Amino acid sequence: MAIAHRTIYKNVAAALNLQTKDDYLEVGCGSGVFMKLYASHVHSVAGLDHSEDMVKLSTRYNQNRVDEGTAEFRHGDASEVPWEDEKFSAAAAIATFMFWPNSLGSLKEIHRVLRPGGRLVISLGWNADDGIDHTKHIKECDIRLYTGKEVQAMFKEAGFSENFITYSKGFGMPRIMIASAVK
């Protein structure tokens, strides 16, 4: 996973362009590695994951920040983000969007917790634009694949004012989709 995600992490970090003043939310934070590697300089970080084990792992991995009060990790679902309105200036979902059962509702929730001008970046290593037959993955992993146009339409419906789609290559992924939006 670390090798496969290296390219994704670099692309997401470039698209987010996190600054020291940012308050960053990662939806589907997993082990918290991205936050430790690419968001260690920001004002605060928060992570949400559906797996209690990943919440514990990301908390341990980022324990110094948790102890300082500049990081928190919660168990929950992307369709019910457990933070107040306009708390964050930046958010990302790295390789998790395709697993969300309520993608549009989740985007609306992320929009709610972002400040005006807040940025969202979603990475999709597997996507409907990559030219690969994902029939097996869809069945085995219970995922939904999206085209760039579908993601852009959802961003618009969720209330984002601007959105962009870019593609890059990665380890075992011929066309990684990086979807960015601004509130």
pLDDT, tens digit, for every residue of 80-92? 999 999 999 999 9
For 96, phi then psi, to 5°, come to -125, -25
Mean pLDDT over 1-27 rounds to 89
pLDDT, tens digit, for every residue of 124-142?
988 888 888 888 888 888 8
Distance CA 119, CA 179 (A): 11
CATH number assigned to the domain comprising residue 66: 3.40.50.150
Q: Is the pLDDT of residue 78 over 60?
A: yes
pLDDT, tens digit, for every residue of 140-171?
888 899 999 999 999 999 999 999 999 987 66
Q: Which residues 6+ apart lie within 8 Å of 104 measured at CB?
A: 154, 157, 158
Name the amino acid, one letter, at 71.
Answer: A
Strands (E), the chain: 23-27, 44-49, 71-75, 88-94, 114-124, 162-170, 173-182
Q: Is the pLDDT of residue 3 over 70?
A: no
Beta bridge partners of 47: 26, 73
Distance CA 144, CA 129 (A): 13
Q: Where are the alpha helices (DSSP H) in 62-134?
A: 63-68, 103-113
Name the amino acid, one letter, at 55.
Answer: V
Question: Is-contact 45 63, C-beta < 8 A?
Answer: no
Query: Would you put residue 120 in left (φ > 0), alpha (ψ -120 to 50) or beta?
Result: beta
Can you give the pLDDT at residue 17? 98
Size (the chain), residues? 183
Can you give the pLDDT at residue 70? 98
Domain coverage including residue 79: 2-182
Question: Is-contact 111 47, C-beta < 8 A?
Answer: no
Domains in the chain: how many in total? Answer: 1
Can you give the pLDDT at residue 12? 96
Token pair for 26: 């990662």
